[in-house]
Amino acid sequence: MDIARTPATPDGNQHLADAAPEPHDPATIRREDYRPYPWLVPDVALDFDLGLEATRITARLTVARNAEADASDTIRLNGDDIEPLSIKVDGEVSNDWHMDGSDLILPLSGDAHEIEIATAIDPSANTKLMGLFASNGMLCTQCEAEGFRRITFFPDRPDVLSTYRVRMSGPKAQFPVLLSNGNLEAQGDGEEGTHWAQWHDPWPKPSYLFALVAGDLVANSDSFTTMSGREVALNIWVREGDENRTGHAMESLKRSMRWDEQTFGREYDLNLYNIVAVSDFNMGAMENKGLNVFNTKYVLADAETATDGDFDGVEGVIAHEYFHNWSGNRITCRDWFQLSLKEGFTVLRDQLFSQDMGSEPVKRIEDVRILRGAQFPEDSGPLAHPIRPDSYREISNFYTATVYNKGAEVIRMMRTMAGGDAFRKGTDLYFDRHDGEAATCEDFVTAMEDGAGLDLTQFRLWYSQAGTPKIGVRMEHRGDRAILHLKQDVPPTPGQPDKAPMPIPLRIALFDRESGQHDGEQLVTLTKAQESFSFDSISSLPVLSINRGFSAPVTIEREISQDDLVFLAAHDDDPFARYEALQDLVVSHLKAAVSGQLEEAAKRDGEEAITSAFASVLADDSLDELMRGELLVLPSETYLAETMLVADPAAIHSERQALRGAIARALESEFLNLHERAGAVPFGMDAAAKGARKVKTQALIYLAAGNPDVARRRAWSQYEQADNMTDRQGALMVLCGLSGIERTNALIDFYNRFQGNPLVIDKWFALQASSMHPAALEHVKALADHQDFTLKNPNRVRSLYMAMAYSPHAFHAADGEGYRMIADLILALDPINPQTASRFVPPLGRWRRIEPKRSALMKEQLERLAAAPGLSSDTHEQVSRSLG
């Protein structure tokens, strides 16, 4: 499953307890308490009589005692907000059952039985968007993590694997398309305008992978021939009128299928592959076997309505869900503590795919920026947890950047240590050993040890310890030897005050100052708290390039001069390391400026050094524009705050904008020339054209900081002449941060032009909410009352409020208004959609890392939330953990 991603900044289950918990006091589930389920459920037959307001479900479960589990004379079937209409055991009506909270307890005396349970639900009333729900006249499901229990009573845990046969019937005019997992077995017409379809999935799967869609849809259809010569039918189902915007998604799917065969040896295993786009969806997408359900945001794309970033997002999420067919479906999780087994591995797979489809260095920089913007703050805050947690209360709260993005980095480190070929041997062994099983993270690591020939005994600490390691770096020179001194500190996190050293693979290069060259890249692995590495035949103190390619998810704290950072920014041949040198140059300057340690002369010197480095980026003809665009991006305010023990958001914003303005004023003619040169490149989807669009908007961002009048005219001209959404949105983003008639005209034109397209109107909301405009919070208030705003659509809620919550300029308003707005939203949204509401708590949870005045205001809103009656368990857990 792909988690819904936070908006970009302008720059760039195991239920083991018997008692059902109260909403404010959910039971703590612990990994150490895992026990196999006492009953196997090899076969499941589901019969759906469909209706938007009334759907009846009859479930028939074949159950048998599990010889590998402790025997039980009852079966516990999970439920949530449902009641049984009737229960039969072996064909006989049973009244010998009782409810334990929301779960159904049924006595079973023999070794094998057939259980039949009828339930009825109202999909139209399901605002949680979990289980079976209605979305604009259609029916669809979302069952990960614990949504299937909202459809029928079932052992809703990932280690219960079953083959499913699904029959559904309903009004043909209302639901002309009937879809479920697996292959279509039969279909036909019924009585009184109804029709039916029967689907069978031959591959055992857990209930969280069940899917059903019924609605009035049209398909973009194609086919793919696998490496063994089988033809697979491909369909992308959308609302009529949207089919012309699915071409990129279809091509991305076919590229993903071919790449997975070539890179990981994985072939698709059904006769067809269906994708359905849904406008009301909590997540980005869901990998249900053979029937992926997607948020429309990650399916629909054309040049008029989608940016280059949107195209990349569609490609990446299509690939992610397809890759889950093996890393998640054929091999699933034993329990939810193993979530990173499938998600971390699959994120790595989609990252490698995207690297191969585009620019490897640019993709790597983008992935690290996401990690630093979302996961690093999580790792240093009250919600910190290992990629394999030891306990949870609400599993929905563990679909986090740590599980996904840090999980991917941990597996990437194994790949770095093993090398590409040996890593492939390890993954082949993992797939061969565990196909058709519910596996654990330990199973993956063991397969990697055996297949790739690694000793990962100490490396397992990455799965059990939270926190981002800080690596102290010092370089010295003695005679003809260079000595690299490294030390690591894994900071304390909630529940883990003391940490053991972890193995940290660091790719390095030693540059000669005179020639600007090095003798080759090396891999050093830090395994102790402190360790030194010697390098012979080094005539003078070299310039160290470290953590090249971001080989480990750590923070580097190095003793390095400003001159050496400028050197690396100009000479480093590793694109990420060059980017990192520029980032470090800016971060060190801004940290000193924010702390008040810089006198005016030193501040000017720092600005001049940074300006010189940026001038070299602008003048370097060897750079492609995609990479140049990345090198021009300043560190985000969120990342800058993360580098400080206590952050002052206002000071960070002020100093960052001042630096941007100084760079812009000194290099105004260069940015004007860059904007003109990039503007002359005709539209295309090749790397050169995409790069031109990228630097064009970056030039406008700088000009807006240095010469707003020039930027306003340029941005308005770019907006008027735009023949694609990337240019149009880039110009509008810049105008949103400025005042003037051009801003008003562009916002009115954009809304009128795209009023019928929800995804584009989401952009309209987000651009205003995340803008640098002084009145951004007032704009958010007004937009909350707009006729197109609704709390019932997660995309729309995220477009307005998440954009604001992750825009430090607006969120951290001095009077605390931003904090109050987010708390008000959580209270309003929680009764409607607690899963989405809970995701707005973490920004407030950063209160301990913010200066005292704002910190007190943030904590006040958390305490207000904690005292609110009837708060969902999802949100209450986040709030209580944030308060500590």
Quick: pLDDT tens for 231-242.
999 999 999 999
Q: Which amino acid is at 596?
A: G
In this predicted structure, what is the pLDDT of residue 269? 98
Helices (H), 722-807: 725-736, 741-754, 758-769, 776-784, 794-797, 803-805
| 444 inside domain | yes
Average pLDDT in the 439-450 region? 98
| 132 inside domain | yes
Please check whether residues 245 and 293 belong to one and the same domain. yes
Read off the pTM.
0.97
**Nearest-angstrom CA–CA distance, 589 and 597:** 10
DSSP-assigned letters across all residues of 281-333:
-SSSEE--TTEEEEEGGGT---TTT--HHHHHHHHHHHHHHHHTTTBTTTBEE
Instruction: Mention every residue, 6+ apart, whose C-beta is less than 8 A from residue 57.
Output: 46, 47, 48, 49, 118, 119, 120, 121, 151, 152
In this predicted structure, what is the pLDDT of residue 718? 98
> 464, 489, 521: which is the final residue of a domain?
464
In this predicted structure, what is the pLDDT of residue 20? 37
Residue 9's alpha-carbon distances to 26, 109, 276, 766, 882, in angstroms, are 35, 59, 29, 10, 24
In this predicted structure, what is the pLDDT of residue 24? 52
Q: Which residue has the tokens 């790792």?
A: 379
Average pLDDT in the 649-653 region? 97
Q: What percent of the chain has pLDDT over 70?
A: 98
Please check whether residues 458 and 498 belong to one and the same domain. no
Taking only the tens place, the pLDDT of each residue in 21-38 is 444 567 899 999 999 999
Q: Which of 10-24, 120-134, 297-311, 569-583 has the lowest mean pLDDT?
A: 10-24
Average pLDDT in the 345-355 region? 98
pLDDT interval class at 16 (50, 70, 90): very low
In this predicted structure, what is the pLDDT of residue 26? 73
Q: Which amino acid is at 291?
A: L
* DSSP 8-state class, residue 505: E
Please check whether residues 460 and 503 belong to one and the same domain. no
**C-alpha closest to that of 308 among 368, 369, 363, 253:** 363
Taking only the tens place, the pLDDT of each residue in 155-198 is 999 999 999 999 999 999 999 999 999 999 999 999 999 999 99
* Ramachandran region, residue 101 (left: φ > 0; alpha: ψ -120 to 50; beta: rest): left
Taking only the tens place, the pLDDT of each residue in 251-291 is 999 999 999 999 999 999 999 999 999 999 999 999 999 99
User: In terms of C-beta density within 10 A (0-12 exposed, 13-18 middle, 19 or more buried), how is residue 646 classed?
Assistant: exposed
Q: Which amino acid is at 285?
A: A
| 728 inside domain | no
At 475 the three-state DSSP class reads: strand
**Nearest-angstrom CA–CA distance, 85 and 562:** 73
3-state SS of the chain: helix, strand, coil percent to 5?
A: 45, 20, 35
Please check whether residues 271 and 410 belong to one and the same domain. no
Please check whether residues 205 and 235 belong to one and the same domain. yes
Q: What percent of the chain has pLDDT over 90?
A: 96
Domain count across the chain: 4
**Nearest-angstrom CA–CA distance, 287 and 289:** 6
Domain that holds residue 146: 36-307
Average pLDDT in the 397-423 region? 98
**CATH number for the domain harbouring residue 814:** 1.25.50.10
Residue 95's alpha-carbon distances to 87, 90, 92, 120, 841, in angstroms, are 7, 13, 10, 18, 44
| 441 inside domain | yes
Long-range residue pairs from 99-103, CB within 8 A, at least 24 positions apart, any chain:
100/18, 100/19, 100/20, 100/76, 101/19, 101/20, 101/21, 102/20, 102/78, 102/149, 103/15, 103/20, 103/76, 103/77, 103/78, 103/79, 103/153
Q: Is the peptide bond before 145 cis (omega within 30 degrees of 0)?
A: yes
Please check whether residues 356 and 379 belong to one and the same domain. yes
Cα angle at 417 between 389 and 413, to 5 degrees?
35
> 395, 429, 464: which is the final residue of a domain?
464
Which secondary-structure segment (H or E) carries 521? none
**C-alpha closest to that of 375 among 363, 364, 362, 384:** 384
**Nearest-angstrom CA–CA distance, 505 and 793:** 43
**Nearest-angstrom CA–CA distance, 323 and 612:** 44
Looking at 321, 343, 607, 625, which residue is catalytic?
Answer: 321
Q: Is the pLDDT of residue 438 over 50?
A: yes
Two tokens at 596? 């008040």
| 19 inside domain | no
89 touches 115 (CB < 8 A): yes
pLDDT interval class at 5 (50, 70, 90): low
558 touches 543 (CB < 8 A): no
**CATH number for the domain harbouring residue 152:** 2.60.40.1730
Q: Is 599 among the catalytic positions?
A: no
**Nearest-angstrom CA–CA distance, 308 and 108:** 57
Residue 740, CA atoms < 13 Å, CB-side half-sphere: 17
* Ramachandran region, residue 243 (left: φ > 0; alpha: ψ -120 to 50; beta: rest): alpha
**C-alpha closest to that of 297 among 399, 282, 287:** 282
Please check whether residues 146 and 247 belong to one and the same domain. yes
Of the chain, the end-to-end C-alpha distance in Å amounts to 29
Please check whether residues 184 and 226 belong to one and the same domain. yes
Average pLDDT in the 90-94 region? 98
* Count of residues in the chain: 884
Cα angle at 223 between 217 and 225, to 5 degrees?
155
| 818 inside domain | yes
User: In terms of C-beta density within 10 A (0-12 exposed, 13-18 middle, 19 or more buried), how is residue 428 classed?
Assistant: middle
| 377 inside domain | yes
DSSP-assigned letters across all residues of 37-63:
-SEEEEEEEEEEE--SS-EEEEEEEEE
202 touches 182 (CB < 8 A): yes
Average pLDDT in the chain: 96
DSSP-assigned letters across all residues of 163-184:
EEEEEEEEETTT--EEEESSEE
Helices (H), 512-648: 562-571, 575-595, 600-619, 625-631, 637-642
> 435, 464, 493: which is the final residue of a domain?
464
At 201 the three-state DSSP class reads: strand
**Nearest-angstrom CA–CA distance, 665 and 671:** 9
| 76 inside domain | yes
**CATH number for the domain harbouring residue 517:** 2.60.40.1840
Q: Which amino acid is at 183?
A: N
In this predicted structure, what is the pLDDT of residue 700? 98
Q: Is the pLDDT of residue 630 over 70?
A: yes
What does the H/E/C string look like for 346-371?
HHHHHHHHHHHHCCHHHHHHHHHHHH
**C-alpha closest to that of 62 among 77, 86, 46, 44:** 44
Which secondary-structure segment (H or E) carries 102? none
Taking only the tens place, the pLDDT of each residue in 507-562 is 999 999 999 999 999 999 999 999 999 999 999 999 999 999 999 999 999 989 99
Please check whether residues 460 and 494 belong to one and the same domain. no
**Nearest-angstrom CA–CA distance, 340 and 345:** 7
Buried b (16+ CB within 10 A) or exposed e, 706-717: bbbebbbebbbe
In this predicted structure, what is the pLDDT of residue 597? 84
Average pLDDT in the 838-846 region? 97
pLDDT interval class at 633 (50, 70, 90): very high
**Nearest-angstrom CA–CA distance, 404 and 594:** 32
Please check whether residues 408 and 386 belong to one and the same domain. yes
* DSSP 8-state class, residue 786: S
Please check whether residues 459 and 499 belong to one and the same domain. no
Average pLDDT in the 676-702 region? 98
In this predicted structure, what is the pLDDT of residue 11? 42
Taking only the tens place, the pLDDT of each residue in 194-224 is 999 999 999 999 999 999 999 999 999 999 9
In this predicted structure, what is the pLDDT of residue 809? 87
Q: Which residue has the tokens 């708290």?
A: 529
**Nearest-angstrom CA–CA distance, 625 and 617:** 10
In this predicted structure, what is the pLDDT of residue 4? 72
Please check whether residues 444 and 486 belong to one and the same domain. no
Average pLDDT in the 806-826 region? 96
**CATH number for the domain harbouring residue 380:** 1.10.390.10
**Higher-pLDDT residue of 530, 4:** 530
Instruction: Mention every residue, 6+ apart, whose C-beta is less than 8 A from residue 96.
Output: 106, 107
